[in-house]
Chain A
Amino acid sequence: QQQVKQSPQSLIVQKGGISIINCAYENTAFDYFPWYQQFPGKGPALLIAIRPDVSEKKEGRFTISFNKSAKQFSLHIMDSQPGDSATYFCAASELMNYGGATNKLIFGTGTLLAVQP
């Protein structure tokens, strides 16, 4: 059972355009929704994250939109650049506190973004 569904699988955008990646989740207990960026041969790097008490968060050219009632969230990359070409993963988690906190990230299946010059 895929708890976090991500689309599209791949995306081609022209330089300067807007890249939009969508995710949907099922578990209403999730309370943290990060996006990770991964370049070939590298580890996932935290890009931006949101908690369900806000509907939007913006950091530079990257914006997360969050719709709690629809259980959906999306990443918008404004003014997309060739350097943004990478695989993007959405994730969701619920903080678990067993005397020490741990945070089990459930990842989407990834979106391969190619920004053409």
Chain B
Amino acid sequence: DTAVSQTPKYLVTQMGNDKSIKCEQNLGHDTMYWYKQDSKKFLKIMFSYNNKELIINETVPNRFSPKSPDKAHLNLHINSLELGDSAVYFCASSQGTSGRVSYEQYFGPGTRLTVT
């Protein structure tokens, strides 16, 4: 069983298009995250959601809009894609409910986005 899954694995699109990446976790966690890994492999947090509520927004452009329909899913929609958005996007999850808090984060396999 895949703990944190993402679709699609690869996404190639043109500048100006809108695209979405989906993430699902079956770990029963309450907190989910989006991270961006650039071409130099640097990992940086973008968003954090706890039980469907946005907790962290790391000065990400408004073109990026996360949505959490339930605590097991976190999607990332990107409008008006730019060349600089090309990267690998990782979803992660952790346990984050009062009384059952864990620091450990588990990452998905990533979505490689290429904007041409």
Contacts and interface: CB of A to CB of B under 8 A. Distances in A.
Given A109-B42, A110-B41, A103 B50 contact: no
Nearest to A91: B43
Contact of A49 (B45, B90, B95, B103): B103
B105 A110 contact: no
A87 B105 contact: no
Tell me if B's interface is mostly helix, strand, loop or mixed. strand
Contacts of A100: 30-31, 50-51, 53, 55, 96-98
A29 interface: no
Interface residues of B, number: 33
Q: How large is the interface on A (under 10, 10 to 19, 20 to 34, 35 or more residues)?
A: 20 to 34
Contacts of A32: 103
Contacts of B48: 102-104
Nearest to A42: B109
A44 B104 contact: no
B102 to A, nearest CB: 8
Contacts, number: 87
Interface in B45-87: 45, 48, 50-51, 53, 55-56, 58
B108 A43 contact: yes
Contacts of B43: 44, 89, 105, 107, 110
A22 to B, nearest CB: 18
A54 interface: no
B77 to A, nearest CB: 21
B101 interface: yes
B55 A34 contact: no
A95 B103 contact: yes
A45 B107 contact: yes
Contact of A101 (B50, B107, B109): B50
Nearest to A2: B42
A107 B51 contact: no
